């Protein structure tokens, strides 16, 4: 460090107005509960790279918490007819997704030789069990009731997931918005059992085709559709990077949670959340 940089630091410390007395004031660390946050990395092995493994997953869970915060609020906004507010939230979700995807780039610096030094310490714990990931899937309309069995250990959490399973998802809210605009949507869809996975419907496809063929007339619905496509696009990129990172680190081993690992992750790449929005591109 140069002499000038020391002088610059002195200027910062001595600048008028900077608070230095926090005896009776809340600090940055207190506001963020950093003592709790930064002491949550409990290594079960003595291996250096376990810290990387834990932090990557913890950071991803924090981003997922924000995704749920934004997606659930956007659903409420769409239901109220406030699409412009929903657009802001959904655009933010896409930016968050890009950050989670980049996290795989960091985790991929973990080599197979390094991971096997502490993998057995995980027991049956696995990212497959991430309840926030499941809630994101539920919010996007991918409902899988059988996974709730994983969370029976925590009755309160199980109840939260069950509530999310039966709640309308983001696409359900969008379909209702189409109906409110006057499109002839299959009434069974508007009253469907939201705990069931969504199946493509010709009336929804016809409505979206009309929207895309008359962009100026249905600008808000068109913008909503494109926001949904952005989110699904990013989600699939996240799934792909997850699959390739797992393949790079453990090959085709069975996952710690008992899944088929890479083979399972490849299968979910074929799933689509908003099928009509992809199919219409061929028909326009």
For the annotated binding site for substrate, the residues are 53-57, 115, 119, 256
Q: What CA dihedral angle connects 110, 114, 120 and 122, to 10 degrees?
A: -30
Give the position of tokens 């004031």. Answer: 25
CA angle 242, 245, 248 (to 5 degrees): 150
Binding residue positions: 53-57, 115, 119, 242, 256
CA proximity to 221, closest of 81, 65, 30: 81
What is the DSSP annotation of the chain?
--HHHHHHHHHHHHSTT-----TTS--HHHHHTHHHHHT----SSS-TTHHHHHHHHHHHHHHHHHHHHHHHHHHHHHHTT-HHHHHHHHHHHHHHHHHHHHHHHHHTTS-HHHHTTTGGGGTT--GGG-HHHHHHHHHTT---GGGGGGGTTSHHHHHHHHHHHHS--HHHHHHHHHHHTT----HHHHT--TTSPP---HHHHHHHHHHHHSTTTTHHHHHHHHHHHHHHHHHHHHHHHHHHHHHHHHTTPPPTTSS-THHHHHHHTT--SSHHHHHHHHH-
Binding residue positions for heme: 242
């Amino acid at each position: 460090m140069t002499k000038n940089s020391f002088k610059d630091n002195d200027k910062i410390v001595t600048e008028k107005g900077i608070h230095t007395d926090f005896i009776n004031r809340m600090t940055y660390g207190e506001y963020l509960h950093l003592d709790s946050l930064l002491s949550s990395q409990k290594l079960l092995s003595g291996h250096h790279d376990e810290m990387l493994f834990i932090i990557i997953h913890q950071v991803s869970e924090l981003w997922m918490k924000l995704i749920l915060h934004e997606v659930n609020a956007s659903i409420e906004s769409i239901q109220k007819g406030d699409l412009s507010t929903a657009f802001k939230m959904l655009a933010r979700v896409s930016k968050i997704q890009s950050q989670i995807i980049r996290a795989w780039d960091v985790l991929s610096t973990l080599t197979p030789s390094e991971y096997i030094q502490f993998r057995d310490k995980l027991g049956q714990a696995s990212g497959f069990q991430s309840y926030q990931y499941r809630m994101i899937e539920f919010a996007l309309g991918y409902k899988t009731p059988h996974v709730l069995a994983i969370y029976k250990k925590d009755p309160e959490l199980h109840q939260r997931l069950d509530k999310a399973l039966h709640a309308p998802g983001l696409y359900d809210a969008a379909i209702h918005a189409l109906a409110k605009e006057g499109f002839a949507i299959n009434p069974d869809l508007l009253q469907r059992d939201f705990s069931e996975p969504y199946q493509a419907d010709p009336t929804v496809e016809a409505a979206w085709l009309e929207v895309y063929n008359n962009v100026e007339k249905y600008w808000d619905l068109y913008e909503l559709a494109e926001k949904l496509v952005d989110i699904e696009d990013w989600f699939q990129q996240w799934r792909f990077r997850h699959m390739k990172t797992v393949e790079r680190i453990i090959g085709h081993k069975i996952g710690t949670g008992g899944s088929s690992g890479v083979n399972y992750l490849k299968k979910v790449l074929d799933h689509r959340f908003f099928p009509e929005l992809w199919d219409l591109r061929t028909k326009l």
